[in-house]
Structure 1
């Protein structure tokens, strides 16, 4: 086994020779390719590649070997240690199902994130954070304090060297300015219905309309509410025999699973942005 393992993520305009050039540079750096996935978007004509390598070299040597290739092909290039834990700030309100799923997956070792802090506009979930030994910060939000609260949030992101912000049923709309500041590094979860139901008690609305499918969507946060690039979705079937309360319970389970998968794929460097869409090497 190689002493060092890295994930190389690449995106650039598509043209012939990219895979050959990347593979050659990695070979020169003494890297053994253990996994490789690539995709060329027929709509945007952008190329995406995720490569896992093992090598005796340090990350600086690998980055140096890929530097000329990156410049030649105008690449967005990222290299990270495989299995490294992404520093993650989780935001919550009162519902704890999504947070609980994330904390369980982290504790069991299936979710490669480190959680230095949990932020909430309510105190309801502080006992859960305390149980897991994670700092809990109460950051109330009102129309008059929203700007100040978001400034405090960005200060926490900088203070704790946060790489990812996860909205685990955080029930506040982020400002356009905050969405831009967290572009590509904030993930949200929301319920998904066919048709869509907004406002209070969406699961009860879905039950009243006789919906047959319920589910959830995990996506990157943008200024367009619940319309950011989608990372993962899941749906399950329901029928007339289910009560509104069962809809709620089943929906919460789906939300937790969907968000956890999306966060895991992001943390494993499997998600790349292609305009308003994502490329997910799941």
Structure 2
């Protein structure tokens, strides 16, 4: 797990000299590359890179590194960022009445398996306030009696207040069974992850396990993806599957699916926290 030093992420048009420029600048500032990943997409013509590096005692701080890298970023037309690898992102989990993914994320974070700080839990129901209290995480009950109109807008405004007030870096929809408005999706672009309980692009929308049963599938899956205004169509981060058979009813498929949902979502959250995911149009590049 990359939890010391710094992490540099880069996305730019592919061209010669990028790796040389990046490694040369780091060398000039006394940095040591711990690990590095890169990918050139021949179809989009874009180059992606993630570099985990360390500095010697008394070496440059985050601000100095960002200032030093800016000319290189401008030269190559990069979208780039430098992160302090020791800083855990602050996460807000949204959930409704199905709590297995919430419980799994809370346990993994507490046990040290996820490099995040779970700073808030938001729900339109009160079912999990005691679970939140057992982990000493603030719980915000924001009911939603009407899924459209002024009440939804007011509830989502309160959701975004929590995001601002708690300095949230990442929002995780852990079986939050409400569709976010286009406005909230735009505000959370690139920093909201959803778990959908099917192997997208199959079985979008409601009751995917019932849809899967109706089609007699032999594999069920779960998909973690970034949230966009297009329902269940955001860039896919991770997917997990499990084999099933003709004898299983929708409830049995649902029970099997809970495990794969937890695994796929936890991986996606971990990779986002470690800055391993770079957007590539409607797709992602994930450096594992």
Write the mapping of 1:145-160 to structure 2, written as runs, cut at 5 A: 145-160=151-166
Any runs of at least 4 consecutive aligned residues in structure 1 with deviations exceeding 3 A, and if so which?
Answer: 193-202, 241-244
Mapped to 1, the partners of 2:154 and 2:66 lie a distance apart of 39
Mapped to 2, the partners of 1:200 and 1:274 lie a distance apart of 28
Offset from partner CA, 1:39-67 (integer Å, 9 cap, x none): 11112211111000010222223223312
Instruction: Tell whether 2:43 aligns with 1:43.
Output: yes
Mapped to 2, the partners of 1:194 and 1:67 lie a distance apart of 38
Mapped to 1, the partners of 2:63 and 2:199 lie a distance apart of 47
Report which stretch shifted further, 188-197 or 33-42.
Answer: 188-197
Mapped to 2, the partners of 1:21 and 1:66 lie a distance apart of 10
TM-score by length of 1: 0.94
Mapped to 2, the partners of 1:193 and 1:272 lie a distance apart of 21
User: Equivalent residue of 1:192, what SS?
Assistant: coil
* Residue number in structure 1 paired with 2:92: 89
Return 5+ residue gaps in structure 2 as ranges: none
**Aligned residues: CA RMSD:** 1.8
CA contact (8 A) 2:199 2:223 kept: no
* Residue number in structure 2 paired with 1:235: 241
User: Equivalent residue of 2:5, what SS?
Assistant: strand
Cα distance change, pair 193–276 in 1 and its aligned pair in 2 (3 A): closer
Cα distance change, pair 194–211 in 1 and its aligned pair in 2 (3 A): farther
Offset from partner CA, 1:180-205 (integer Å, 9 cap, x none): 11110000011125894456543244
Offset from partner CA, 1:228-258 (integer Å, 9 cap, x none): 0000001111112434332111101111110
Offset from partner CA, 1:40-96 (integer Å, 9 cap, x none): 111221111100001022222322331221121121121111142101111000000
Instruction: Tell whether 2:70 aligns with 1:67.
Output: yes
Mapped to 2, the partners of 1:14 and 1:195 lie a distance apart of 29
Report which stretch shifted further, 53-62 or 149-158.
Answer: 53-62
Instruction: Tell whether 2:34 aligns with 1:34.
Output: yes
Mapped to 2, the partners of 1:29 and 1:95 lie a distance apart of 49
Instruction: Tell whether 2:133 aligns with 1:130.
Output: yes
TM-score by length of 2: 0.92
CA contact (8 A) 1:83 1:268 kept: no
Return 5+ residue gaps in structure 1 as ranges: none
CA contact (8 A) 1:34 1:52 kept: yes
* Residue number in structure 2 paired with 1:218: 224
Mapped to 1, the partners of 2:116 and 2:9 lie a distance apart of 18
User: Equivalent residue of 2:114, what SS?
Assistant: coil
Mapped to 2, the partners of 1:23 and 1:195 lie a distance apart of 39
